[in-house]
Structure 1
Amino acid sequence: MADSEFQAIQDRKVRDEQMRNMINRKLVESGERERLKELLRERLIECGWRDQLKAHCKDVVRQKGLENITVDDLVAEITPKGRSLVPDQVKKELLQRIRSFLASQTNI
Structure 2
Amino acid sequence: MGDRELIIRETINQKLEETGEKEKLKRLLRMRLDECGWREKVRAYCKQVIRERGIETVSVDDLVAEVTPKGRALVPDTVKKELLHKIRQFLTEQANV
TM-score, normalized by the shorter chain, greater than 0.5: yes
CA distance in 2, matches of 1:68, 1:94: 37
Query: Sequence identity, in percent?
Result: 59
Shift of 1:106: 2.2
User: Are 1:88 and 2:77 an aligned pair?
Assistant: yes
- Name the residue aligned to 1:48: 37
5+ residue gaps, structure 1, are 1-11
- Report runs of 4+ in structure 1 exceeding 6 Å deviation: none
TM-score, normalised via structure 2 length: 0.95
5+ residue gaps, structure 2, are none
CA distance in 2, matches of 1:14, 1:88: 29
TM-score, normalised via structure 1 length: 0.86
- Name the residue aligned to 1:68: 57
- Equivalent pairs, count: 96
CA RMSD of superposed structures (Å): 1.2
